[in-house]
Chains A and B, each alone.
Chain A
């Protein structure tokens, strides 16, 4: 039998860590993807995601509506990412006395050029479109799960997803053209 999030949250609150493991299985990939948008590095995104889940576990008793665990977790991930950015900026400032740098350039590690370009294109999307796309594909293309996390109606979510996909295709075209140009210029 499949437990919903509210039941799993209640089990966790009663000391069942396996239930927390199941929530982790459900949402860890999405949280890593959100963190990747900030760090641009998979390893660092994994570390940040761990921090998000640890914090979620500690703050779980304060969650008002257990059935809204996923949006709550996503909001927490965004907070952790903001704190990470602030800390990075502060550390750079202290260490070299310079103004904070821009977000580091993405360093995709996947070998396939097409997938590299696709990931770079996704990262260039506006935040909401990026989150919609990531949520949909990291929830195994389950539209109901994704729209619940985003707190949107089905039609609004479809519209947003469609717009995100179109924009990704456009951005990816630009990215591929750029790579071709770089190759031609040697």
Chain B
């Protein structure tokens, strides 16, 4: 007869992985750099180094511009992907062209309000609501209560658990947009990233549907072994909804992203947080000069 193993046995045999946890934790946290890896580009107080790094960025940007310019010169005009995405809406007939138009359209809005929900089979869904305004203002409200904002002057994070307001130098929406997945990135990322979306994503199916009482297209796109489904307004080519599935064949939803409104007038107050009397404040600004 086979040995019966209880949950208690299993738990006991895993106890060895708890050994020295406190010491190891303290050692690890002590050894961490000030900020996670790729954020270290500007984290220096030496003005010369900063200027040199800015110079590198400007140089890189110029190189990209030149490369794009050359592409425009040498690419045959009738086959250029740029031509297909700037074509008038009425001429859009293929799903690929509709998809291209939608990506292009997302890159043109001046403000956007959306919500992303991650389904949870057990507890409550987690969600995050975003307001974003050209070129670099944003506000995010997580279902956990965490709030993040950013404008030209500063970025703020409110940790509700500790009632702590942390203030950083302004860097514009960057890493935060990753939280909002593909739809958020399409609206707020630099155009080069949107273009990459066009080139990397393959439209695998399209069908007509109704959404919010409007005639829409449901377009399914595959990219990086993932499957994405978009609801796109048939007349304006505005993206209303994006759903990301766990795999090409899977029907399990990883997250769904819904655009609530675009091109709205949004108040400046939305993009900053003022400390209340009860809040602790941690000002982590490096006092960068005005050119920042």
CB pair B2–A169 under 8 Å, yes or no, is yes
| 26 A-B contacts (beta carbon < 8 Å) | A1-B160, A4-B126, A6-B142, A12-B36, A13-B39, A15-B284, A24-B25, A24-B28, A29-B14, A33-B17, A42-B16, A50-B28, A54-B31, A57-B32, A57-B33, A57-B37, A58-B37, A61-B39, A62-B37, A110-B16, A115-B9, A138-B17, A141-B11, A168-B5, A169-B2, A169-B3
The stretch of B68-76, B115-123, B189-197, B271-279 in contact with A is B115-123
Docked complex Cα distance between A68 and B24 (Å) = 24
CB pair B10–A137 under 8 Å, yes or no, is yes
- Rounded to whole Å, the gap between the CB of A10 and the closest CB of chain B is 6
- 0/1 interface trace, chain A 59-75, chain B, CB 8 Å (1 if under): 11111111110000000
CB pair A122–B13 under 8 Å, yes or no, is yes
Docked complex Cα distance between A186 and B219 (Å) = 71
- B207 interface hit (Cβ, 8 Å): no
Partner-B contacts on A (CB < 8 A):
1-4, 6-7, 10-17, 20-21, 24-25, 28-30, 32-33, 36, 42, 45-46, 49-50, 53-54, 57-68, 109-110, 112, 114-115, 118-119, 122, 133-134, 137-138, 141, 143-144, 147, 151, 153-154, 165-166, 168-170, 172-173, 176
Of the candidates B14, B19, B175, B246, the one whose C-beta lies within 8 Å of that of A138 is B14
CB pair A15–B25 under 8 Å, yes or no, is no
Docked complex Cα distance between A53 and B24 (Å) = 11
Interface residues in B, total, Cβ within 8 A: 60
Q: A15-B35, A16-B166 are in contact. Are A118 and B126 (CB under 8 A)?
A: no
Q: A50-B24, A64-B178, A109-B16 are in contact. Are A170 and B2 (CB under 8 A)?
A: yes
Interface residues of B in 1-49 (CB under 8 A from A): 2-5, 7, 9-14, 16-21, 24-25, 27-29, 31-39
Tell me the interface secondary structure of chain B in the complex: mixed
**A residues less than 8 Å from B27 (CB atoms):** 50
Docked complex Cα distance between A24 and B16 (Å) = 16
- Rounded to whole Å, the gap between the CB of A49 and the closest CB of chain B is 8
Closest B residue to A138 by CB, please name it.
B14
Of the candidates B9, B19, B146, the one whose C-beta lies within 8 Å of that of A3 is B146
